[in-house]
């Protein structure tokens, strides 16, 4: 079945460090890929998405590229801020299926 | 637009009690879903609906019932709560033709079953 595997957390970085959170997937067909973010005490917000191979999603300084050859969608940011502290979820959706399959989430803490 | 709203925000139940988690959306979305979030397991789909009068089971449906009598509302019922249902519950909605089937989430309901 369809599945998403994320980098184990928690991840702790200093402000202005480079961030990578790994995400790989298994899916039938050609999924769309998402990163959602959950700030403390809040619901999930869409951070970025990519709907086909080689697409790059970007938002708020975060980027992720849909790599079909490696079935990956790694999240990157060049210089993190304290305000980026949150839980990040990688997810996929298969065409025709109105549902998301999530990874286990990665808790990120940024120290000043 | 208020988007997706959920009530209550917090709830404590005793084993065996019943309750309904409310979810509503004002975006006229056709699709609505319920997920539960457990530590280390991400979000898992409980039930979903592709339109009024149509529901289907997700990955973890046991112990939960749903119905969809209107486009706007999609309540989740726990008939006899169990400690294993302690979790954070998220409702989500989407619309036909949404790019990549993107879903919009409510703020969540934190449920504790004692």
Q: What confidence tens digit (pLDDT) does each residue in A27-62 have? A: 988 899 999 999 988 889 999 999 999 999 999 999
Tokens of A89: 């979820």
User: Would you say residue A9 has pLDDT above 90?
Assistant: no
Q: Flag if B105 and A43 touch (Cβ within 8 Å).
A: yes
The strand pair at A11-14 and A106-111 is best described as parallel
pLDDT string in tens for chain B (114-residue length):
789 999 999 999 999 999 999 999 999 999 999 999 998 888 999 999 999 999 999 999 999 999 999 999 999 999 999 999 999 999 999 988 777 778 999 999 999 999
The strand pair at A86-93 and A106-111 is best described as antiparallel
pLDDT (0 to 100) of residue A17: 97
The answer to whether A19 touches A29, Cβ cutoff 8 Å, is no
Q: Flag if B100 and A44 touch (Cβ within 8 Å).
A: no
Residue of B101, B103, B107 to mutate for A, most A C-beta atoms under 10 A: B101
pLDDT (0 to 100) of residue B39: 84
Beta bridge partners of A81: none
Which residues of chain B neighbour A98 with C-beta distances below 8 Å? 31, 33, 48, 50, 94, 101
Q: From the list A44, A51, A99, which residue is nearest B45 (CB)?
A: A99
């Amino acid at each position: 079945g369809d599945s998403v595997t994320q980098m184990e957390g928690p991840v702790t970085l200093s402000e202005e460090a480079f961030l990578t959170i790994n995400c790989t997937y298994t899916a039938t067909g050609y999924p769309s890929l998402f990163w959602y973010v959950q700030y403390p005490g809040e619901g999930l917000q869409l951070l970025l998405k990519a709907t086909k191979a080689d697409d790059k999603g970007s938002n708020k300084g975060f980027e992720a590229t849909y790599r079909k050859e490696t079935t990956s969608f790694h999240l990157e940011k060049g210089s993190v801020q304290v305000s980026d502290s949150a839980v990040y979820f990688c997810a996929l959706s298969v065409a025709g299926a109105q549902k998301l399959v999530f990874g286990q989430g990665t808790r990120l803490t940024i120290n000043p | 637009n208020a988007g997706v709203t959920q009530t209550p925000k917090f709830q404590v139940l005793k084993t065996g009690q019943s309750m309904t988690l409310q979810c509503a959306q004002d975006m006229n979305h056709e699709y609505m879903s319920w997920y539960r979030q457990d530590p280390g397991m991400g979000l898992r789909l409980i039930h979903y609906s592709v339109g009024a009068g149509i529901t289907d089971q997700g990955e973890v449906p046991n112990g939960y019932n749903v119905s969809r009598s209107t486009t706007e509302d999609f309540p989740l019922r726990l008939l006899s709560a169990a400690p294993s249902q302690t979790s954070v519950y998220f409702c989500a909605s989407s619309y036909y033709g949404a790019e990549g089937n993107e879903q919009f989430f409510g703020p969540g309901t934190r449920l504790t079953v004692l």
